[in-house]
Amino acid sequence: MDALLDLQALAGIAAFIALALPFSSRIASIRWRLVAVAVALQFAICFVLLRVPPISAALSSLNRLVAALSDATRQGTAFVFGYAGGAPPPFVITRPAALAVFAFQVIPIILVVSALSAVLWYWRVLPVVIRGIAWIFERTLGTRGPAGFAVTANVFVGQVEAPLLVRPYIARMTRYELLLLMTAGMAMIAGSMMVVYAAMLASHFDNMLSQLLTKSLMSIPASILFAYLMLPDDAQSADHAEPGRIYTSTMDAVTRGTADGLHIWLNVIAILIVLIALVALVNMGVAALPDVGGAPLSLERIVGWLFAPLAWLMGIPWSEAPQAGSLLGIKTVLNEFLAYLKLAELGRGALSDRTRLIAIYALCGFANFASMGIQISGIAAMAPERRADLNELALRSLVGATLASCMTGAIVGIVAF
């Protein structure tokens, strides 16, 4: 069965490349050797990080970091929010699950991770790590300069924060580099959200943080691949990235990193309230339509049917494709946070291990319509003269990021099982 699903996923990888070609500016200019190298790099990264014992064991230790960060954050939330934040309640508990307040116990870890990331940036730890990773892709795929640095930075920071690191160069970037910047931003998630999702999905798979980190690293060559397929005849600029210092001291990094984390935390709470309410409204509307297949219609069922073929192409059995497609559709139409919440609600036994891991990889990214708007407004604020290019490239970046995430899902299904 796995061999057939592996062949199905290999066919899917070819299909994802083919789906990008209608968006290409000049198919005749594509160098297929670079395409093959980009795909091979994804397989290599996945294999080394998941199947080479010393490296996979080292990455597994990162999951203890998630537990430590969660415990440390719980100390802060318990002090500030009392029993709503995890402190012992002053009454007898009859329903323990009712005390798990999502806003005050689960996602405040964003604040801590954001502050720590800022400190590591000020101490020059993150820039050195990013340069080391970027060097690998410069040597293998020729991606260099500010775009290459910002793309690699997306492993650790968000889709708007990464362009900020190379803000002086955005005005001079070629259209390919701009597309690459946008595609990578939506194909990955910020480091703070990576820790949140690792904590949320810890019961679904072992070593969740190392899985999400592997996915983000695989997304670098995947993003380069799809940006190149769409704009193969666009040259790269000759600029050399020299990001300046963002913070003036360790305490400045802590306070500003915390302020940035607060903005993200409040935004996550607000967007979840609004999106869950909108989904409920849509479901109320479509429930008035006649039943289909003996069950009422819902947004989840409709997007599941639409995205089921993409799920199947990732190597997911057709019997599970509508459920996985529903998660992929929710991620694209709404956002990945809501999709991961739905996956967590399904429980471990609702999908096979292979399908669940593929879905985790495919959902790990900011590729949705709201993020497309965020990128246009965020990057345009840094380089107003590029607004027309950003608007023109927006749809390509969304398609490229979605296909990149699907490709990583197909590859991990082949390598991990």
- pLDDT given at position 183: 96
pLDDT in tens, 52-88: 999 988 888 877 887 788 889 989 999 999 988 888 8
Assigned token pair, 400: 């490229």
Assigned token pair, 261: 């984390």
Is the pTM of the predicted complex or chain greater than 0.85?
yes
- pLDDT given at position 346: 85
Q: Where does residue 87 fall: left (phi above 0), alpha (psi -120 to 50 degrees), or beta otherwise?
A: beta
Return all residues near 105 (Cβ < 8 A) that are at least 6 apart: 74, 77, 84, 85, 86
- pLDDT given at position 235: 64
Residue 11 DSSP SS3: helix
Rg, the chain, Cα only: 21
- pLDDT given at position 242: 60
Q: Which positions of the chain have pLDDT values less than 50?
A: none
- pLDDT given at position 149: 86
DSSP codes, 3-69: HHHHHHHHHHHHHHHHHHGGG-S-GGG--HHHHHHHHHHHHHHHHHHHHSHHHHHHHHTHHHHHHHH
- pLDDT given at position 162: 84
Assigned token pair, 203: 């019961």
Return all residues near 247 (Cβ < 8 A) that are at least 6 apart: 118, 121, 122, 253, 256
Assigned token pair, 36: 């093959």
- pLDDT given at position 1: 59
pLDDT in tens, 313-354: 999 999 999 999 999 999 998 889 889 989 988 877 789 999
